[in-house]
Amino acid sequence: MSAFKKVAVLGSGVMGGGIAAHVANAGIPVMLLDIVPQGANNRNQLAEAALGRLKKTNPAALMSDRAAGLIQPGNFEDDLSRIGDCDWIVEAVIERVDLKQELYRKVAAAMKPTAIVSSNTSTIPLGTLVEGLPEAFANRFAITHFFNPPRYMRLLEVVKGPRTEDDVLPALRRFGDVALGKAVIDCKDTPGFVGNRIGIFWSTVAMSQAMSLGLTVEEADSVVGKPMGIPKTGIFGLGDLTGIDLAPHVSASMLKLLPPDDPYCKIYDANGQLAQTIQWMIGQGLTGRKGKGGFYRQDKAADGSRTRLTLDYATRTYRPTRRAELASVKAARKGLRALVEHPDKGGQYAWAVLSRVLAYAAELAPEIANSIADVDTAMKTGYAWKWGPFEQLDLVGPKWFADRLRAEGKPVPRLIEAVGAGTFYKEEGAARLIFTPEGRYAELKPAAGAWKLADVKRGKQPVLSNKGASIWDLGDGVACLELHTKMNAIDANIVAMVREAAKLDKKGFKALVIGHDGDNFSVGANIGLGLFAANTAMWPVIEQNIKEGQDAYRALRNAPFPVVGAPSGMALGGGCEILMHCDAVQAHAESYIGLVEVGVGLIPGWGGTTTLLTRWMQNAKRPQGPMPAISQAFEIIGTAQVARSAAEAKEKLLLRPSDGITMNRDRVLADAKAKALAMVPGYKPAEPAEIFLPGATARTALAMAVEGFRLQGKATPHDVTVMAALARVLSGGDVDILDPVKETDLLALERAVFLSLIKTNATLDRIEHMLTTGKPLRN
């Protein structure tokens, strides 16, 4: 089962381009081919334009400049002949069978026999796609269905046909999982596979029920939003995002493919208010965010002020957006059940949606998926639901759900009958069990190398624990330090636990991993508590906190065993500094790492400034003299740069070149553990660095740069103060270039400078502003 070494993507539209970019993100060369437009001078025009777009999209499709370089644009006429060395060929051209088949025939002629071909179709059955094609081609053919945008949406649905050879799906699954980081689920060759089958039904129900129950757009979005575990854009907001004009195509294709007795065909009403409204909107160019607005829109007045407007679908006019205030939404804080039991129209609406969608999912699950867990995974990773349909059933209680359906005279799906008074998932000791369509419970085991900390924790006690962090035994002599404060902000509890973690050899451990299952590794130090201490002039307390943080982090680095950081999501400020003190990092590709302290008028004070400077100074590739290294660190810290991927973090030396990257979120901890174990033999802690710094002369140079920023209006008055303070540390303070600067000297400087800054009003105003608005204050 060798991984793919080279890939070709056919079709450079939104999906094709996105898939190619993500293959490149995995470090694999990829050809991106498209047709030669009629009369074009540049025969690669389409693919090259796509590549240009990929470099600019926001959120970024590409993780690094290097990844961009791995994409080779080309065209079907000149370059198909060169796909002979590709292991995987993905087709993502428009949804027309004739065009796809024409292309397949050309591919069949050019591909190597062991290559795999797959289509990213979302609407054409596999059977139709390979009809009439040579056996050899059909043997190597499958469907790989990605979700948009391919870098960020984790779901990958794979489908095989009756003629697909046995090695094809495992290879695709493995590549999708390990190389691309996707949640791969096996689907049957049924319309819409799993995600869209349920998702399209859901969105149609959610929109049409809102209209028939007379909820405003805001009210509907306040219900089918956070309370139901849906991203806060809500259902109408989601429509605006994906494009209103897509809706008729989607429903037409589903109606064509689905059997007429499918509930979707029954709820879809071509003459109903929803379909009519959408038709009218498209006619008006109201196609959503990309058009002139959708269910919501922003109006800009002559004076530049903006007002948010909402479509009143009944009168087809826009009016100012109103905050929805439904009692049911407030009640939902107590849980999903409290929401759907609430008597107000929000509660009624929630039930109308939930009852239909969950019943539909339960009815279909055995037919469209291999397990209910796959259905849940599909909805969570393809539609960003917080809970899958069966998890939602467990939340409200399957029996309660069934009883209510029965009371309303509605049929109860067989699977829900079968689970009876039980739940679809349950835990027994360390095992997680899942209800199968056969009416039994089976153990749900994570795939090898793809476990979560939750799997380790189930039924066990931590080795050590306090309010902010815990230490778990990962087996094989490896411990895991888990952070669990809100947003994993670093507080005194976490610092205390870091200290404990540095002594774990005393408890018989030989390596440590720092990581957890949370979305964000850590958003940085808890500045709320710090702000209070600063406002009340508790300087000694603040100084002690900085010292304790420095000491704890250094203890981690000096511990007599390897420590591996395992971040995902944001690792900012104090969170980034933990990683910088690890012996190695195994980062999720989607890690956003940065030293952002200047945003709140501070500098990294827990060794971050010192460590980044040292890394740049010791960088073998740097030009002669200390200034280029100092300038790099100055720029990265001074402008609060956050790397938009692990790959970019390496370029900034926020990660080391030798640090590892894992594409699949679920594999980060296992990879980190493996890395830690590999470091155990002969492990010695790193020696503290000594570097030579130029002192005042460097400060002068940096001050000139800052003055330049100020004159260009890029630096505010307080920016100038903060950058001068940063320059003081990075230049080594009052040293002579001939004397080595010890790490402890730099740390003392960090502390002094940090304290001088936190005593200023302007810094405290920045912290307050960040905490109250979430945005930096430019004072």
Between 414 and 467, CB nearer to other proteins: 467
**Region of 18-26, 372-380, 644-652, 767-775 interacting with other proteins (CB under 8 A):** 767-775
Question: Least distance from C-beta 764 to other proteins, angstroms?
Answer: 6
Backbone angles phi, psi at 626, to 5 degrees: -75, -20
Between 330 and 452, CB nearer to other proteins: 330
| Per-residue contact flags (x/-) with other proteins for residues 461 to 480, judged by CB under 8 A | --------------------
Number of residues that bind other proteins (CB under 8 A): 20
Between 717-730 and 627-638, two packed helices, what is the crossing angle to 10 degrees? 140
Alpha-carbon distance values, 719 to 261, 276, 710, 749 (Å): 66, 54, 9, 19
Spatial CA neighbour of 513 closest among 688, 671, 657, 687 = 671
Question: Least distance from C-beta 123 to other proteins, angstroms?
Answer: 51
Structure tokens at 655: 């990660």
The SS3 of residue 714 is coil
Question: Does 771 sit near other proteins (CB under 8 A)?
Answer: yes
Structure tokens at 129: 């796609």
Distance CA 627, CA 623 (A): 9
Between 742 and 778, CB nearer to other proteins: 778
Distance CA 392, CA 397 (A): 8
Tokens 């053919």: give the residue: 141
Please answer whether residues 756 and 603 qualify as being in contact, where contact means their C-beta atoms are separated by less than 8 angstroms.
no
Between 148 and 761, CB nearer to other proteins: 761
Distance CA 513, CA 565 (A): 6
Amino acid at 633: A
**Region of 88-96, 438-446, 499-507, 768-776 interacting with other proteins (CB under 8 A):** 768-776
**Region of 630-638, 704-712, 750-758, 763-771 interacting with other proteins (CB under 8 A):** 763-771
Distance CA 16, CA 36 (A): 16
Binding residue for other proteins, selected from 92, 764, 766, 777, defined by CB under 8 A:
764
Between 280 and 532, CB nearer to other proteins: 532
605: β partners:
none
Question: Least distance from C-beta 758 to other proteins, angstroms?
Answer: 11
Among residue numbers 528 through 547, which ones bind other proteins (CB under 8 A)? 528-529, 531-539, 541
Number of neighbouring beta carbons within 10 Å of residue 283: 8
Question: Does 280 sit near other proteins (CB under 8 A)?
Answer: no
Question: Does 773 sit near other proteins (CB under 8 A)?
Answer: no
Tokens 């012996």: give the residue: 583
Distance CA 215, CA 345 (A): 8
Question: Least distance from C-beta 768 to other proteins, angstroms?
Answer: 5
Between 619 and 760, CB nearer to other proteins: 760
Q: Is the peptide bond before 59 cis (omega within 30 degrees of 0)?
A: yes
| Per-residue contact flags (x/-) with other proteins for residues 742 to 761, judged by CB under 8 A | -----------------x-x
Between 325 and 367, CB nearer to other proteins: 325
Among residue numbers 541 through 580, which ones bind other proteins (CB under 8 A)? 541
The strand pair at 7-10 and 30-34 is best described as parallel
Please answer whether residues 626 and 604 qualify as being in contact, where contact means their C-beta atoms are separated by less than 8 angstroms.
no
The SS3 of residue 586 is strand
| Per-residue contact flags (x/-) with other proteins for residues 490 to 529, judged by CB under 8 A | --------------------------------------xx
Between 533 and 627, CB nearer to other proteins: 533
The SS3 of residue 390 is helix
Question: Least distance from C-beta 532 to other proteins, angstroms?
Answer: 5
Binding residue for other proteins, selected from 379, 578, 767, 777, defined by CB under 8 A:
767
Between 518 and 528, CB nearer to other proteins: 528
Distance CA 117, CA 683 (A): 45
Distance CA 486, CA 498 (A): 17
Between 21 and 490, CB nearer to other proteins: 490
Question: Least distance from C-beta 31 to other proteins, angstroms?
Answer: 54
Between 542 and 612, CB nearer to other proteins: 542
Residues that bind other proteins (CB under 8 A): 528-529, 531-539, 541, 759, 761, 764-765, 767-768, 771-772
